[in-house]
Chain A
Amino acid sequence: MSRVVVDVMLKPEILDPQGKAVHGAFDRLGFDGVASVRQGKRFEIELTGDAGPEAVAEIERAASTLLSNPVIEDYTLHVETEA
């Protein structure tokens, strides 16, 4: 089995109120040296077979249509190899 990981983040120009709130908590709890926080989503997708080009292309399609909304979000995708 192979695993494909998709990370989804709000585009840099889109306000991230949740990230800002987390940043506020950093400050309140005394975690120093933090300039900003952005919050995103991580999807770990287990494939039934190998992560060949076709299988990855299929997940890529899901990432761009289902897992992210291209109006407000960007995604990155990588295949995780077993350690």
Chain B
Amino acid sequence: MRIGVVTFPGSLDDRDAARAVRLAGGDAVELWHADADLHGVDAVVLPGGFSYGDYLRAGAIAGMAPVMRAVVDAARGGMPVLGICNGFQVLCETHLLPGAMIRNDRLRFVCRDQPLRVENADTAWTSAYEPGERIVVPLKNIDGCYVADERTLDQLEGEGRVAFRYDGHNPNGSLRDIAGVTNAAGNVVGLMPHPEHAVEPTVGPGSTDGLGFFTSVLETIEGMARA
């Protein structure tokens, strides 16, 4: 199964994301920000980094890259799309996911091993987890404070679309401790922490807690093919 990983100018974690895809048993396909189509991939990962220097707003200019037109169309058609960190910001900027990220409340770049609670284990990217499962993956960002208006937050909570919450310490002031959200269909998921950095016991926090994202999507794609 072919999982595309988009590289924007300024992406940092595209290679780690591709590696995570391979470790989970998938084929990683390099996609370029200027590509007009998705080369027939079954799912797409938008990786972390500082696309286009995060000029204007984090993820704003990347959201208008040619490849994103294809990603938005495919996501609306049900293709699994995961946005990690800067990729989450890009998904919010394209309005595939609600809300937006602003500067961390304490204005510091935060880099730590971050405990999360998996709130929704029914999405294309979280089916390998148990609802309420606690996982630890790295977090590293400065524009990580998730905000949305109260009505949107209530709607997300009501529809079970808060996918991940910070467990214990809220590192960046995100409203309602939200670390990641999903769209209504469950195929588009975004989160600030980095599951792709927690897929091997020898690096990152020493856990492989992030691998489940990538095994989940492979199972999802298999299920879609059978249906």
Contact = CB atoms under 8 A, between A and B. Distances in A.
Q: A and B, one complex?
A: yes
Interface of A: 10, 13-18, 21, 66-67, 69, 71-72
Given A69-B100, A72-B100, A13 B173 contact: no
A66 B64 contact: yes
Given A15-B173, A17-B173, A66-B64, A71 B148 contact: yes
12 contacts: A13-B149, A14-B147, A15-B102, A15-B173, A16-B102, A17-B105, A21-B107, A66-B56, A66-B60, A69-B93, A71-B98, A71-B100
Instruction: Report the 5 A-B pairs with minimum CB-CB distance, sorted nearest first.
Output: A71-B100, A72-B100, A17-B103, A17-B105, A17-B107
Interface of B: 56-57, 60, 64, 92-93, 95, 98-100, 102-107, 145, 147-149, 173
A71 B92 contact: yes
Most chain B beta-carbon neighbours within 10 Å: one of A14, A15, A17, A66: A17
Given A16-B102, A17-B173, 7 more contacts: A15-B145, A66-B56, A66-B64, A69-B57, A69-B60, A71-B92, A71-B95
A82 B92 CA distance: 38
Contacts of B102: 10, 14-17, 72
A10 B95 CA distance: 17
A16 B60 CA distance: 18
Contacts of A13: 149
A16 B148 CA distance: 13
Contact of B107 (A18, A71, A72): A18
A18 B145 CA distance: 13
Contacts of B99: 71
Contacts of B103: 17-18
Nearest to B93: A69
A16 B103 CA distance: 8
Nearest to B98: A71
Contacts of A10: 102
